[in-house]
Amino acid sequence: MHIIPANGAHIPQLGFGTFRMPEDQVADILPKAIDTGFRHIDTAQIYGNEAAVGAAIKASGIAREAIFLTTKVWVENYRRDAFQASVEESLRKLQTDHVDLLLLHWPNEAVPLAEQIEALNRVREKGQARHIGVSNFTTALMAEAVALSPAPLATNQIEYHPYLDQTKVIAAARASGLSITAYYAMADGKVPNDAVLQEIGARHGRTAAQAALRWLIQQPDVAALTKTATATRLKENLDIFDFALSAEEMAAIHALARPDGRIVSPDGLAPQWDAAS
C-alpha cells in the first residue's frame, strides 16, 4: 500500500469507507476488507457504526498500530462542552485510546471555527488523536482553519470523482501541506457504467472502477476511500497499484467533470462551494 505524507501524518493511499453501512454490514465486510489488505479505515460518529468498526479491528488480529483509523466529529458536537465527551464516546465504541485522524465532519457556522479548531487541538494534545483535519471545507474555510490551528492539519476529506472538478481545493490543500481524501469515488454508482472509463480500464485489463480509483491515487497527495459490501470486489479495489494511466488518459478522465457533477450538498450543512476552475 502506498503512503501519503501529509503534515506529519502517513496516510495509506487507499482506504475502506463505511458511510451508509449499518453495523451488521460492517461486521460482515470489514473483517474481510482487513484480511484482503486494507489498513486505512474510515468511519464517523453520524454513521452509527463505530462500535462495529472497533469490534472488527479488535478481532482482526492485526496490531492496532498497523491500522490507520479515521473518525469524524458530528456538527452537533462542536461546542466546547460537547466535543470532548463525543470523542471519548467514539473511542469507547472503537475500542481504542486514540484515532489516527480526527476530522470536523462538515462546516458549522453556529459554532465559531476557532472554537472547533481549539477543541480538535485539545484532543490531539491529549493523545486521543494523532492527527487532525477537516472534511467538506472550501478553500476559504480551509485557509481559516489552517491559520487558526497550532498543529498542522493533515487532510481535507471531500467529494471527489471524475465528474467533479476539485482543482482549486486540491491546489489550496497542497499549498498548505494537506492531503486530499476523496470520498464518493464511484459517484454514487455512475463510474462503473461510464463508457470513457470502461474504455480506459479495458486498455489496462481493468474495470472502469479501477480506472477511476487509479486516476485518483495517481494524483499527488490524493488518497481515496472505496466502499463495497461485496467481498469479491475488495481485491479488485485494492488492485490499482501495479499499472499507470498515461497523461492522455488522465486528461480524458479530468475532462469528464461537469458543472452539475456534485452529488453531496445537504441543506443546512453544505457551505458556499468553490466554483469549478
Give Cα separations from 125 to 80, 84, 111, 115, 122 (angstroms). 15, 12, 21, 15, 5
In this structure, the number of other CB atoms found within 10 A of the CB of residue 24 comes to 10
Helices (H), the chain: 23-36, 50-59, 80-94, 113-125, 139-148, 167-175, 195-203, 208-217, 232-238, 247-254
Beta bridge partners of 229: none
Spatial separation of the C-alpha atoms in residues 211 and 243, rounded to whole Å: 10
Closest alpha carbon to 78 in 56, 50, 105, 43: 105
Listing DSSP states for 4-59 in one string gives EEETTEEEESEEEE-TT--HHHHHHHHHHHHHHT--EEE--GGGT-HHHHHHHHHH
- 113, 83 contact by CB (below 8 A): no
- Active site includes 78? no
- Give Rg (Cα) of the chain: 18
Closest alpha carbon to 16 in 65, 57, 63, 74: 57
The active-site residue out of 47, 160, 163, 183 is 47
Closest alpha carbon to 227 in 9, 38, 4, 11: 38
Residues marked as catalytic: 47
